[in-house]
């Protein structure tokens, strides 16, 4: 604006004339477009009526509503030159600003009034061409009358869509299309459908070489033969199942799966999935291929499904409760699976006893993937690992490698209960999966290697590391609202994992080991094959408002001290950062006054809010006092000058003195 105010009056007048001329041309252009449009509408056959065949009868992929879906036709405004280009740009801006009115435009989540009950899924990954094809029949429970259904789909070419009603009759599909912004495949019906069970059938294809998430092709070189080998594998957490097949790709939907995979018939290839193989069909669907049918799964979320076609071999163990435990790797590396097979079977037995809940599947596979994007992934019954986190050789691996493998195996096996048997309801509660697994892994580790003092590693590896992050202004609460796939991916971080583990350790510290274990066992039994929530309903809108504090309620029930677990833990999970306790010795040295403030690494950003606490605790005159024994609490402590001097003197006098005792 200031630059324009300095223009000469002559130039201003000239600009006004040009502007008036352009406006006149623009109005004429718009009127021309309207006239042409009216003529086309009147002269076209059936003008003004919506055809029931407005999308391909096969339900094939068409564009987002309002966009050009192909062909060589252009718009009238696209042909206007000069001043008309200005008008076209303004019209496009108005179109972009159009309010989102359709249900599938307003929400990233699938409506709660539809629920996927079962998937009949067929997948044929062709590792030579790098493509895959598939079909899926999704049994959907509809609880409210509606005129459309949505599933998630991304990077899939859906070529056929059909819908069957509760009585088995076909339901007319008016239109089926991809709404790319929310990663939806939308199916509009000719007439509203009533409550009941419907089967949505889809044919689709995709690319195995797009990325290393979803269903993808991996490659390795066999060290014994020197040959390059392809395998097909998958990684679906958090929102990548929709890249492999159309599905209800949210953790609140638990469905059973009947899965069929196609593999090459020879060359050592096998097919693996979450459940054991039920039967195989040779030379199907064509010569040289084999159809592998798997047993029907337990109810599980889509991100836990896993599909692998490979030429790997395995080592096998059997647990105390007759679970077949196998560890797969490339043929030239399978000898390095012995340690993880021994440790994995042992930890599985320990977790069954600790949780008081049997492992619910008949088999547990673990497999080393050559180029796995994550450290590991807890697919139910088929855990995938990066090779360095599963393969151990006593001759060439370091002790750190051994500890790392044992810790990762323990973490992923803990997920078979926390995350798989009981699952978060939405991703804002990611810590319910990852925080628990990150803490419970140390218990599994301590069981198989009691000489390692496993929990002592939690302090530098988790607690101190995450405190450095949580002391910054860029941190976030453990429970964090998220909506989009990018937001969901971003919270797979140290706050969800390490801070989650640290506050659970603190909780166990003031509850007591046995009450904590009993509360966890009750929680797993009550919410088995279901979802759980720890958020407080007032702060989150939408479908989760009536569900809160599932975990805290179960822990409160077993607390002999009648502790208000929810009130205590909400302060740690729903706000970022942590406090520092300030201890000042009183006159005579018999007491300390304790105050607190938020701890921030940036001195200039320190919180100057007056402490709501002013508590006196006893002190030993002439002795030392250490608060936060064993560093169970998720906070720091700052003593006055005399307090630090007493601790320093104690260590200088005897550097082996145990400061964990609290005082002397």
Q: Annotated binding site for Zn(2+), which residues? A: 411, 415, 434
The one catalytic residue among 203, 250, 352, 412:
412
Distance CA 310, CA 570 (A): 46
Distance CA 526, CA 430 (A): 19
- Report whether 627 contacts 581 (CB < 8 A): yes
Cis previous bond, 238, omega within 30: yes
| In 80-226, alpha helices (H) | 83-96, 103-106
**412 annotated active-site:** yes
> Among 349, 359, 385, which Cα is nearest to 370's?
385
Helices 513-526, 338-355: crossing angle, 10 deg rounding: 90
Distance CA 114, CA 438 (A): 33
366 CA to centre of own chain:
20
Distance CA 301, CA 253 (A): 6
Tokens of 233: 């594998």
Distance CA 400, CA 393 (A): 12
Per-residue CA distances from 636 to 13, 243, 582, 600 (Å): 69, 45, 9, 11
Strand 131-142 relative to strand 196-207, pairing: antiparallel
Residue 526 three-state SS: helix
Tokens of 457: 């590693």
Tokens of 621: 């005159």
> Among 35, 43, 20, which Cα is nearest to 77's?
35
- Report whether 134 contacts 121 (CB < 8 A): yes
- Report whether 328 contacts 306 (CB < 8 A): no
Distance CA 220, CA 328 (A): 14
DSSP labels for 150-168?
A: EEE-SS-EEEEEEEE-TTS
183 CA to centre of own chain:
16
Tokens of 215: 């269903």
DSSP labels for 385-417?
A: EEGGGT---TTT--HHHHHHHHHHHHHHHHHTT
Distance CA 147, CA 191 (A): 6
Active site residues: 412
């Amino acid at each position: 604006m200031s630059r324009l105010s300095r223009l000469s009056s002559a130039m201003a007048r000239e600009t006004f004339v040009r502007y008036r001329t352009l406006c006149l041309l623009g109005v004429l252009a718009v009127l021309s477009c309207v006239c042409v449009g009216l003529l086309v509408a009147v002269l076209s056959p059936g003008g003004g009526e919506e055809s029931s065949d407005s999308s391909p009868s096969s339900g094939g992929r068409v564009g987002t509503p309002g966009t050009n879906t192909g062909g060589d036709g252009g718009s009238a405004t696209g042909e206007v030159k000069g001043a008309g280009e200005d008008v076209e740009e303004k019209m496009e801006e108005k179109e972009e600003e159009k309010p989102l009115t359709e249900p599938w435009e307003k929400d990233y989540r699938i409506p709660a009034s539809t629920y996927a009950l079962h998937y009949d899924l067929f997948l044929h990954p062709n590792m030579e061409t790098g493509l895959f094809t598939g079909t899926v029949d999704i049994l959907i429970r509809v609880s409210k009358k509606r005129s459309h259904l949505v599933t998630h789909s991304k990077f899939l070419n859906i070529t056929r869509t059909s819908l069957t009603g509760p009585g088995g009759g076909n339901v007319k599909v008016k239109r089926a299309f991809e709404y790319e912004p929310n990663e939806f495949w939308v199916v509009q019906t000719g007439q509203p459908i009533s409550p009941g069970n419907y089967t949505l059938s889809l044919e689709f294809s995709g690319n195995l070489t797009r990325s290393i998430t979803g269903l993808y092709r991996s490659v390795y070189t066999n060290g014994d033969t020197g040959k390059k080998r392809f395998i097909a594998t998958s990684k679906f957490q958090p929102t990548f199942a929709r890249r492999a097949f159309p599905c209800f790709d949210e953790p609140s939907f638990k469905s059973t799966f009947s899965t069929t995979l196609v593999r090459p018939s020879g060359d050592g290839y096998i097919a693996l999935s979450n459940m054991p193989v039920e039967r195989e069909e040779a030379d199907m669907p064509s010569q040289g291929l084999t159809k592998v049918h798997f047993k029907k799964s337990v109810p599980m979320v889509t991100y836990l499904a896993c599909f692998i076609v490979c030429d790997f071999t395995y080592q096998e163990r059997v647990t105390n409760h007759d679970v077949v435990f196998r560890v797969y790797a490339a043929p030239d590396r399978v000898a390095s699976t012995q340690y993880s097979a021994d440790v994995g079977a042992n930890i599985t037995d320990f977790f069954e006893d600790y949780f008081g809940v049997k492992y619910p599947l008949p088999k547990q596979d673990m497999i080393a993937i050559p180029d796995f994007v994550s450290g590991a992934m807890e697919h139910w019954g088929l855990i995938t690992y990066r090779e360095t986190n599963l393969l151990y050789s006593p001759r060439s691996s370091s002790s750190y490698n051994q500890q790392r493998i044992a810790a990762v195996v323990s973490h992923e096996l803990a997920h078979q209960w926390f995350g798989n048997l009981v699952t978060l309801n939405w991703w804002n509660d990611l810590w319910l999966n990852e925080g628990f697994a990150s803490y419970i892994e140390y218990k599994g580790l301590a069981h198989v290697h009691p000489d390692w003092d496993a929990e002592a590693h939690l302090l530098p590896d988790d607690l101190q590391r995450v405190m450095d992050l949580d002391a910054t202004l860029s941190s976030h609460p453990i429970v964090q609202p998220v909506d989009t796939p990018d937001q969901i991916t971003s919270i797979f971080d140290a706050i969800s994992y390490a801070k989650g583990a640290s506050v659970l350790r603190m909780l166990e510290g003031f509850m007591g080991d046995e009450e904590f274990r009993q509360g966890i066992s009750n929680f797993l039994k009550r919410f088995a094959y279901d979802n759980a929530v720890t958020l407080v309903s007032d702060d989150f809108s939408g479908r989760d408002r009536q569900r809160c504090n599932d975990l805290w309620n179960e822990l409160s029930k077993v607390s002999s001290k009648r502790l208000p677990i929810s009130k205590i833990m909400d302060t740690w999970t729903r706000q970022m950062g942590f406090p520092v306790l300030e201890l000042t010795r009183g006159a005579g040295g018999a007491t300390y006054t304790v105050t607190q403030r938020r701890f921030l690494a940036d001195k200039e950003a320190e919180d100057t809010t007056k402490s709501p606490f002013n508590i006196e605790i006893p002190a030993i005159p002439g002795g030392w006092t250490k608060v936060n024994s064993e560093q169970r609490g998720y906070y720091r402590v700052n003593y006055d000058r005399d307090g630090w001097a007493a601790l320093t003197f104690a260590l200088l006098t005897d550097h082996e003195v145990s400061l964990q005792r609290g005082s002397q």
